[in-house]
Chains A and B, each alone.
Chain A
Amino acid sequence: MSSLRTPFFVLALVCMALVVLVELGSSRILGGDGAGAGLAREAEANEVDIVGSTADVDEPPGRAISYLSFVDGVLLYTVLLIGASLVISERVHGRVQGVVTLIASILLIIAAFIAAIIAFIELLVMVSLLLAVPFGTIAYLALWGFFPRGDAAAVLSLLMFLKLAFAVFLVLAQQRFLQQKGLVVLVLISLVLNVVIAFLHGFFPLVLVSIVDTLLALVVAIVGIIWGIVLLIGAIPSIVSTIRLGATDVAKTG
């Protein structure tokens, strides 16, 4: 069993592409439903009155699921690189891989770093508002207090299914993928993050889920930065060998 079964590999690729697309689009799928009734109930619990209508108060979209694309994007990129070797020559693939990986990893690190800072600042604002009873608490509740836990669980279930399907198709395409430790670790991290987010979304009281979600987004962004650094370091030997090959070619033609 040495050759790659292309149909299974293409299916794996499609599954992972869908994972990244669902994650990127999750902020548009989640949230947006009215949460005015919940806010009125919480205002009563905090012994304050809300002047005017609460009809504009909506559920927040959350961050953690969309931030998963930093990790799953690395997985998609890795599989795309493997796929590219099927359609372009080994020589071109070897030369291009290092440079593309270098650029992609730098972009990933920058994007994940900015996203981590945004999540961290939002987390501090959330906690400060929540604890500034009663005026800040009501502001927190209006903006982030009613996380769409059910919808998020549905999206995470879809992602879990697609990721498992990806893993199964990848093994069916070539069993030796199981021996690639980096790929296996990346798939496991992606699955574990999915489970952890689903667990913590359900574990905490509803009004605190947005804070937990933002904290998870921060963790996912940091994991993305770490994988970006791993990619960056992995690209260096490839670039060095490309430069050496280039120098050899110049010497031969000269």
Chain B
Amino acid sequence: MNVKIAILVGVVLVVLFVGSVLVGARKDDGSSTDSNGIIDRLASVAGDPSAVARADVAADCVDDDDPDLLVITGGCTVAVRNDGDLRLLRLLAIDALEVEAPAPEGDLEVESEVDAGEEVSVAVGEGVTEIDIDCIGIGLTECRARLVAG
């Protein structure tokens, strides 16, 4: 490689670098709700987090006849045990309810309202996670949710 080629390569790299930095400076920050191709591809590699095993879910509000049905009177705490990677607890809200759970890997508590008929996935980190479920319908003291398998 002679000096002229080296200088040319250097100039090209500098132009590319400055262009790259300028692209970043002008770019809109976007949002986590936007879809993105690279994330879709990584998601297909990583796969969805597994659902928690039914045996690892414990709650006082489990229906006596149907072990997958939660009958919540005012409020109920669901305890989920997880010995490994991130898992998902899937809940189908039969009535409107509010779910409050700690965000995995962090110190935050997150609260989400779920309309009747909607499903919500609660990400559960390692250890025991306590998920609070409260009824939110007007005048509603009892609400139901179903644990969705796999």
The answer on a CB contact under 8 Å between A212 and B6 is no
- Contact status A134-B85, CB under 8 Å: no
Q: Name which residue of chain A comes closest to B32, CB basis.
A: A207
Query: Which chain A residues border B38 with CB–CB below 8 Å?
Result: 204, 208, 211-212
Given contacts A149-B24, A184-B1, A205-B30, contact A139 B106 (CB under 8 A): yes
How many residues belonging to A are interface residues under a CB distance threshold of 8 Å?
66
**Complex contact B13–A195 (CB within 8 A):** yes
Instruction: Verify B23–A199 contact, CB threshold 8 A.
Output: yes
Is the C-beta of B73 less than 8 angstroms from some C-beta in chain A?
no
Interface of A is mostly: helix
Q: In the complex the two chains form, is B32's CB within 8 Å of A49's CB?
A: no
CB of B138 within 8 Å of the partner chain: no
Contacts of A138 in B (CB 8 A): 103, 108, 110
Q: What residues on A are CB-neighbors of B141 within 8 Å?
A: none
A198–B24 CB distance below 8 A: yes
Bound complex: CA A203 to CA B19 (Å): 11
Interface size on B, residues (CB 8 A): 55
Q: Inside 8 A of B111's CB, which chain A residues have their CB?
A: 48-51
B123 at the interface (CB under 8 A from A): yes
A residues less than 8 Å from B25 (CB atoms): 150, 153, 202
Which chain A residues border B42 with CB–CB below 8 Å? 123, 127, 211, 215
Select from chain B the residue with minimum beta-carbon distance to A168. B10
State whether B39 touches A127 (Cβ < 8 A): yes
**Given the complex, which residues of A lie within 8 Å of B19, measured CB to CB?**
199
* Contact flags A114-147 to B (C-beta < 8 A → 1, else 0): 0000000001110111111111111111110100
Answer whether residue A206 sits at the interface, using C-beta atoms and an 8 A cutoff. Answer: yes
> Is the Cβ of B13 less than 8 Å from the Cβ of A133?
no
The reply to whether the CB of A47 lies closer than 8 angstroms to some CB of chain B is yes
- Taking A139-B123, A167-B10 as known contacts, 7 extra A-B pairs with beta carbons closer than 8 A to each other, sorted by chain A number, are A48-B112, A125-B85, A128-B49, A136-B121, A139-B110, A160-B14, A195-B17
Which residue numbers of B lie inside 8 Å of A, CB to CB?
1-3, 6, 9-10, 13-14, 16-17, 19-25, 27-34, 36, 38-39, 42-43, 45-46, 48-49, 85-86, 88, 100-101, 103-113, 120-123, 125
